[in-house]
Amino acid sequence: MADIQVPITKAKDSVTIDSEALPQEVYEEALKLGLKELSNRGMSKLTKAAFKGDEAALAQACMEQAQKNVEAIMSGKIRFAGKKAKTGESAAVMTEARRLAKNLVKDSIKAAGMKISHVEAKDITAAANELLAADPSLIDKAKANLAEREKTPVPIDIKSLIKESPKLVAKANAANEKKKASLSKTQAGKVAPRAKPKAGVSATAH
């Protein structure tokens, strides 16, 4: 995809950059900075205080996390900026997995001596997403939970108690149509990806 939307945080807007028009050295620097960001994820709790000043143990823990990040990068299992990562799992599974992750984050907040009511919901969600990306076992646990629920039928007739809201159905249908239109537009504007530079060879910028 040639055009990349880059968020400008303080402006709450974005700028468009044509990746195909980037000078080779700028492209490589941008790639390096992006991979640096991805490789350093999940290390906010790895601090000197957490390791009681043991810098060697801290460095080892950071490198272990970095290796996990590299594996996630190479397999495509990362958290994507501005959109949800494609996991191949159903919405139900991901909702349950995220619920489990949030509960673990809240437990960690309590263990750290902080009050959950003093932490913004968006920060808890962000931490849960980081945890979910770093611990795929939560997906397996979510699947197991859903499978267990299916074994326990609800002893009431849901359709006799709850009706779908025409307003919400119309809203959902409109959102789906908008998503399809956006996807079609994106697909139509796609171009062949930039070829990766060969090792030891640097392209000349024009």
Q: Of 195 and 166, which is predicted with more confidence? A: 166
Please state, rounded to an integer, the average pLDDT across all residues of the chain. Answer: 81
pLDDT band at 86 (very low <50, low <70, confident <90, very high): low
pTM as predicted: 0.41
The arithmetic mean of pLDDT across residues 31-47, rounded, is 91
Work out the pLDDT band at 77, boundaries 50, 70, 90. confident
**pLDDT at res. 106:** 92
Per-residue buried b or exposed e for 138-177, using 16+ beta carbons within 10 Å of the residue's own CB: bbeebbeeeeeeeeeeeeeeeeeeeeeeeeeeeeeeeeee
Q: Which two structure tokens, joined as six digits, stand for 67? A: 């290796």
Nearest-angstrom CA–CA distance, 116 and 120? 8
Compute the distance between CA of residue 76 and CA of residue 133 in angstroms, rounded to an integer. 11
pLDDT at 3 over 80: no
Query: How do residues 107-159 score in pLDDT, each as one tens digit?
Result: 999 999 999 889 888 888 888 888 888 888 899 999 999 888 888 776 777 77
SS3 18: strand
Q: At 17, is the secondary structure helix, strand, or coil?
A: strand
